[in-house]
């Protein structure tokens, strides 16, 4: 499908550089790059020595244009590209943002251009690490036509990735899921370390202690699935333990604990149903009451006052 198509990269950060290197290794020709940073360009050339081109040159020569700038610059670059009179026939513009739809690049509906987003579900610290982990990475992709999305599938497969087509109107939810799985995992680690710190364990030792526990949970999820991997007091229906947590926990962490606890209770129900049993009715109601948010408690009290 990609045949003899070539590509250019606009923005030579970690993602742009890594994609260029892998596509070049896979046999797709990189005609050049454009970046505002000389340091970034020099780093790119250490991996792949390519000419620095103007945006107008890229518009004239490239079949596929990757806009791998910061999210805030994607639309600006698309506006500049839209202003040029000459461009390759059936050109496709591609960004790798997880939060923006491909349609943000469409600044002139009269242009015969395809718009595509391919977003790697992975966290990259360096180009070297990205080149190592991109193979096997899952990608969310969406474009302005089925034909363009087929190109996206082919590109992801060339990168060694696994493509998943997503509904453009749900792109924000897709990105929120990625943030929860990646960024908020780091935040949860920070929360656990802070709680350990309150017991007298310093952050370094807390991390050494908690990482094996987290790794064990991750492996359980991978091996038996999310529902079966749930353990702990909510899974056991241990109301007293949960109540003590909430009493002794610093107030600023209570709502976070409750929110996660409500999800754990939902999972606990699913796990019980799967194995043919259920929570004791009183136990379930007590857990549910303990884990209600402040807003829910306020609503219940207002309803009680209304009828008293």
- Integer Rg of the chain from CA: 25
3-state secondary structure 169-216: HHHHHHHHHHHHHHHHHHHHHHHHHHHHHHCCCCHHHHHHHHHHHHHH
- Is the pLDDT score of 39 beyond 70? yes
% of the chain residues with pLDDT over 70: 95
The pLDDT score that the predictor gives to residue 299 is 47
Return the CATH superfamily for domain 6-166.
NAD(P)-binding Rossmann-like Domain (3.40.50.720)
Going edge to edge, which strands form the sheet with 6-10?
A: 29-34, 6-10, 64-67, 91-95, 113-120, 138-143, 162-165
Report the alpha-carbon distance of residue 117 to residue 105 in Å, rounded.
Answer: 10
The pLDDT score that the predictor gives to residue 300 is 45
If you average pLDDT over residues 149-165, what whole number do you get? 97
The pLDDT score that the predictor gives to residue 293 is 75
Binning pLDDT at 50, 70 and 90, where does residue 295 land?
Answer: low
- Is the pLDDT score of 306 beyond 50? no
If you average pLDDT over residues 202-208, what whole number do you get? 94
Q: And the tokens for 276?
A: 């043919």
Tell which residue, 122, 134, 130, 126, has the closest CA to residue 160: 134
If you average pLDDT over residues 215-230, what whole number do you get? 96
This prediction's pTM = 0.84
- Is the pLDDT score of 304 beyond 60? no
User: Which has the higher per-residue pLDDT, 303 or 9?
Assistant: 9
The pLDDT score that the predictor gives to residue 294 is 67
- Is the pLDDT score of 51 beyond 50? yes
The pLDDT score that the predictor gives to residue 4 is 80
pLDDT in tens, 81-131: 999 999 999 999 999 999 999 999 999 999 999 999 999 999 888 999 999
If you average pLDDT over residues 19-25, what whole number do you get? 96
The pLDDT score that the predictor gives to residue 34 is 97
Q: Compute the mean pLDDT over every residue in the chain, rounded to the nearest whole number.
A: 93
Please answer whether residues 11 and 32 qualify as being in contact, where contact means their C-beta atoms are separated by less than 8 angstroms: no
The pLDDT score that the predictor gives to residue 195 is 96
The pLDDT score that the predictor gives to residue 246 is 96
- Is the pLDDT score of 302 beyond 50? no
Mean pLDDT check: name the lowest of 72-86, 116-130, 291-305: 291-305
Report the alpha-carbon distance of residue 261 to residue 273 in Å, rounded.
Answer: 18
If you average pLDDT over residues 252-262, what whole number do you get? 96
């Amino acid at each position: 499908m990609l045949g003899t198509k070539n590509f250019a990269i606009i923005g030579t950060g970690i993602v742009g550089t890594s994609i260029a290197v892998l596509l070049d290794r896979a046999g797709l020709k990189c005609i050049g790059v454009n970046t505002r940073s000389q340091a970034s360009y020099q780093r790119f050339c250490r991996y792949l020595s390519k000419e620095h081109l103007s945006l107008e040159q890229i518009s004239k020569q490239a079949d596929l244009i990757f806009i791998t700038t910061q999210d805030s610059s994607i639309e600006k670059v698309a506006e500049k590209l839209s202003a040029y009179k000459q461009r390759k026939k059936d050109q496709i513009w591609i960004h790798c943002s997880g939060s923006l739809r491909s349609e943000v690049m469409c600044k002139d509906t009269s242009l015969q251009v395809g718009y595509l987003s391919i977003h790697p579900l992975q966290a990259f610290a360096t180009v070297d690490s990205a080149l190592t982990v991109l193979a096997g990475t899952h990608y969310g992709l969406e474009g302005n036509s089925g034909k363009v999305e087929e190109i996206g599938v082919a590109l992801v497969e060339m990168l060694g990735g696994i493509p998943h087509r997503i509904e453009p109107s749900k792109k924000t939810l897709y990105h929120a899921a990625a943030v929860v799985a990646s960024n908020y995992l780091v935040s949860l680690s920070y929360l656990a370390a802070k709680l350990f710190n309150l017991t007298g364990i310093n952050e370094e030792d807390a991390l050494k202690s908690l990482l094996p526990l987290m790794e064990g949970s991750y492996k359980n999820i991978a091996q038996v699935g999310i529902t079966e991997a749930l353990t702990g007091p909510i899974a056991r229906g241990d109301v007293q333990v949960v109540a003590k947590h909430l009493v002794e926990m610093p107030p600023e962490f209570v709502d976070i604990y409750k929110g996660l606890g409500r999800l754990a209770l939902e999972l606990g129900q699913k796990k019980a149903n799967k194995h043919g049993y259920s929570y004791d009715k009183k136990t379930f109601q007590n857990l549910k009451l303990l884990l209600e948010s402040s807003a829910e408690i306020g609503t219940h009290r207002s309803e009680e006052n209304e009828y008293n």
